[in-house]
Amino acid sequence: MKKIFLINVVTLCALLGPLQGRDDFQTWQEFNVKFYDSPKLDMYLFGQSRIGEDSSRRQVALINPKLHYAVHPSLTLAMNYTYLDIKSPHCSYTASQHWLEFEANPKIRFRPFDKLDLANRNRLEIRWIESDDRVHYWTRHQISMSTPLKGMGPFKRAFLSEEIFYDYTRNKIAENRFTPLCLRMKLTERTEMDFYAMVQSICDSGERWNHRYVFGVGFRADIGRRGR
């Protein structure tokens, strides 16, 4: 496990090393609260804000209620709604988006190594942008690895993930998110904190890839009443 952790840190340093002014550094803050918990049905509320390196840069906020249903021990289906608000104060730009999301997430967990889990998430997003009459269709596919940590103080689990976004309006891969390192800290029996570093690569309309270097903090809580 220490070797995997060291590889992630080296990868992160290599990615953040060539950071230049033309690229973007952001901080993301998020929460994920489970407010209903049952053997089949779970309900969550997710929220996130994204801020550039100073207050004049683009700011993003979203809220996302989620409904997850376990149709089988190895398959979970989900339906989510996302409201997203984008603002760029320096040019008075603002935009709002509404996303309807459907997920099919097979819970296939391989253990090729001791205590190393692999997980998969697949999502279809139907996006409506208020300033655009068209409906946009996207898919997202994420694969992640995680492992428990020992001897790392309050940090109890480490994650590594890769996610690609396909835009069917442009018929191309439009975004990639690589998270070389996410550390999860257990606060109480029902609350946790995540700390992660991510490289978000976005292909613009000119076919150029722009990179955002993200440091994120997430709060996770289970406050849901237990269902049957």
Give the separation between CA 29 and CA 218, rounded to whole angstroms: 6
pLDDT score, position 23: 56
Write down the domain spans for the chain: 2-13+28-226
Residue 19: per-residue pLDDT:
41
**Residues 116-166 pLDDT 10s:** 788 899 999 999 988 888 899 999 999 999 999 988 889 999 999 999 999
* pLDDT score at 54: 58
Mean pLDDT (whole number) for 39-60: 84
Binned at pLDDT 50, 70 and 90, residue 73 comes out as confident
User: HSE of 142 in the Cβ direction (CA atoms, 13 Å)?
Assistant: 19
CA dihedral sign, ordered 195, 196, 197, 198: negative
Does the structure show a pLDDT above 60 at 59?
yes
Chain-centre distance for alpha carbon 2: 25
The CATH architecture annotation of domain 2-13+28-226 reads: Beta Barrel (2.40)
* Distance between first and last Cα of the chain: 38
- Highest averaged pLDDT of the listed ranges 10-14, 75-79, 204-208: 75-79
Q: pTM to 2 decimals?
A: 0.83
The whole-number average pLDDT for the span 56-82 is 90
What average pLDDT does the chain have? 85
The per-residue pLDDT for 132 is 83
pLDDT at residue 33 above 60? Answer: yes
Interval 110-119 mean pLDDT:
70
Q: HEC profile for the chain? A: CHHHHHHHHHHHHHHHCCCCCCCEEEEEEEEEEEEEECCCEEEEEEEEEEECCCCCCCEEEEEEEEEEEEEECCEEEEEEEEEEEEEEHHHCEEEEEEEEEEEEEECCCCCCCCCCEEEEEEEEEEEEECCCCCEEEEEEEEEEEEEECCCCCCEEEEEEEEEEEEECCCCEEEEEEEEEEEEEEEEECCEEEEEEEEEEEEECCCCCEEEEEEEEEEEEEEEEEECC
pLDDT band at 228 (very low <50, low <70, confident <90, very high): low
**pLDDT for the residue 16:** 45
Alpha-carbon distance of 188 to 159, in angstroms, equals: 20
> What is the arithmetic mean of pLDDT over 41-58?
83
Which of residues 48 and 111 earns the better pLDDT score?
48
Report the C-alpha gap between 200 and 91 in whole angstroms. 23
Note the pLDDT of residue 204: 85
Least confident of 62-76, 100-114, 172-186: 100-114
User: Could you identify the residue written with the tokens 């008075």?
Assistant: 92
pLDDT above 90 coverage of the chain, percent: 58
